[in-house]
Amino acid sequence: MPAIKSVLHETRIFPPDAAFVKQANLAGMAAYHALCAEATRDYQGFWGKLAREHILWHKAFTRVLDESNHPFFKWFDDGELNISFNCLDRHLSTQPDKVAIIFEADDGKVTRSTYRDLHRRVCQLANGLKSLNIGKGDRVIIYMPMSIEAVVAMQACARIGAIHSVVFGGFSAKSLHERIIDAGAVAVISADEQIRGGRAIPLKPAVDEALAMGGTNSVKSVVIYQRSGKDVQWHVPRDVWWHDLIKDKDDTCEPEWVNAEHPLFTLYTSGSTGKPKGVQHSSAGYLLGTMVSMKWIFDYKPADIFWCTADVGWVTGHSYVAYGPLAMGATQIMFEGVPTYPDAGRFWKIIQDHKVTTFYTAPTAIRSLIKSGPDLPGQYDLSSLRLLGSVGEPINPEAWMWYYTVVGRSRCPIVDTWWQTETGSHMLAPMPGAVPLKPGSCTFPLPGIMATIVDEAGHEVENGKGGFLVIKRPFPSLARTLWGDPERFRKTYFPQDLGGKYYLAGDSANRDLDGYFWIMGRIDDVLNVSGHRLGTMEIESALVANPLVAEAAVVGKPHDIKGEAVIAFVVLKGMRPQGEDAHNISVALRDWVAKEIGPIAKPDEIRFGDNLPKTRSGKIMRRLLRAIARGEEITQDVSTLENPAILEQLQQPIT
pLDDT digits (tens, 9 = 90+) for 414-444: 999 999 999 999 999 999 999 999 998 999 9
- Place 332 in a pLDDT band, splitting at 50, 70 and 90: very high
One-letter identity of residue 16: P
Classify residue 463 by its DSSP letter. Answer: T
Q: What is the mean pLDDT of residues 555-565?
A: 89
| CA 454/CA 497 separation, integer angstroms | 12
| CA 471/CA 462 separation, integer angstroms | 16
N-term to C-term CA, the chain:
40
Q: How many CA atoms lie within 13 A of 487 on its CB side?
A: 0
| CA 521/CA 555 separation, integer angstroms | 13
| CA 80/CA 261 separation, integer angstroms | 9
- Place 456 in a pLDDT band, splitting at 50, 70 and 90: confident
Q: Is pLDDT above 90 for 166?
A: yes
Phi, psi dihedrals of residue 264, rounded to the nearest 5°: -85, -45
Q: Residues 352, 380: contact at Cβ < 8 Å?
A: yes
Helical (H) or strand (E) element with 470: strand 466-471
Inter-residue long-range contacts of 371-377, CB under 8 Å, 24+ positions, other chains counted: 371/560, 371/561, 372/340, 372/344, 373/344, 373/345, 374/402, 374/406, 375/406, 376/344, 376/345, 376/348, 377/348, 377/406, 377/407
Q: Which of 382-391, 498-507, 630-639 has the lowest mean pLDDT?
A: 630-639
Which position has the higher pLDDT, 522 or 172?
172
Percent of the chain with pLDDT over 90: 74
Q: Which of 70-79, 288-297, 513-522 has the lowest mean pLDDT?
A: 513-522
Q: What is the mean pLDDT of residues 12-41?
A: 97
Phi/psi region, residue 216 (left: phi>0; alpha: psi -120 to 50; beta: rest), is: alpha
Q: Is pLDDT above 60 for 493?
A: yes
| CA 604/CA 533 separation, integer angstroms | 16
Q: What's the confidence (pLDDT) of residue 533?
A: 65
Q: Is pLDDT above 50 for 646?
A: yes
Q: What is the mean pLDDT of residues 351-365?
A: 94
Residues 6+ apart with CB under 8 A from 561: 364, 367, 368, 371, 530
Q: What is the mean pLDDT of residues 390-398?
A: 85
| CA 25/CA 304 separation, integer angstroms | 13
CA dist list (Å): 544 to 225, 540, 547, 571, 590: 36, 6, 7, 9, 12
Q: Which of 27-31, 135-139, 338-342, 382-386 has the lowest mean pLDDT?
A: 338-342
Q: What's the confidence (pLDDT) of residue 11?
A: 79
Percent of the chain with pLDDT over 70: 95
- Place 25 in a pLDDT band, splitting at 50, 70 and 90: very high
| CA 101/CA 271 separation, integer angstroms | 33
* 3-class SS of residue 600: helix
Q: What is the mean pLDDT of residues 272-295?
A: 90
Q: Is pLDDT above 90 for 488?
A: yes
| CA 364/CA 559 separation, integer angstroms | 10
Q: What's the confidence (pLDDT) of residue 585?
A: 96
486-487-488-491 Cα dihedral, nearest 10 degrees: 130
Question: β-strands 80-81, 305-308: how paired?
Answer: unpaired
Q: What is the pLDDT of residues 41-50, one digit of tens each?
A: 999 999 999 9
Classify residue 17 by its DSSP letter. Answer: P
- Place 274 in a pLDDT band, splitting at 50, 70 and 90: low
- Place 1 in a pLDDT band, splitting at 50, 70 and 90: very low
